[in-house]
Amino acid sequence: MKQVEITAGMDLEQILQQLKQEEVVLMRHGHAVALVSEFDDDELYWHSREQDPQFQASLKKAREQAAQGKTISLEDLKKKLGLA
């Protein structure tokens, strides 16, 4: 992981080239302020989903239901969806 101090007029393209080898930590006055890593469209989609409050709420509800034993077997799910 490479550390790069943020400076006025720094070359973003140079930082993006470094990403091909390793992640880059951007530093300001000796303190980390950002982690830059390679990121593709699929990762962007899932990152957006994970940050969505409705998606987070649905995960919380599903975990609570599972903890309470409110689950369905794969066979019953297939029947319910007409896949059996």
One domain, residues 50 and 22: no
One domain, residues 46 and 59: yes
Q: Are 6 and 26 in contact (CB under 8 A)?
A: yes
One domain, residues 47 and 71: yes
Query: Per-residue pLDDT averaged across 34-49, rounded?
Result: 92
Q: Quick one: tokens of 35?
A: 């982690």
Domain that holds residue 58: 41-80
Number of domains in the chain: 2
**59: region left, alpha or beta (phi > 0 left; psi from -120 to 50 alpha):** alpha
One domain, residues 60 and 74: yes
What kind and span of H or E run contains 16? helix 12-18
Question: Can you give the pTM of this predicted structure?
Answer: 0.56
In the chain, % of residues over pLDDT 70: 100
The per-residue pLDDT for 77 is 94
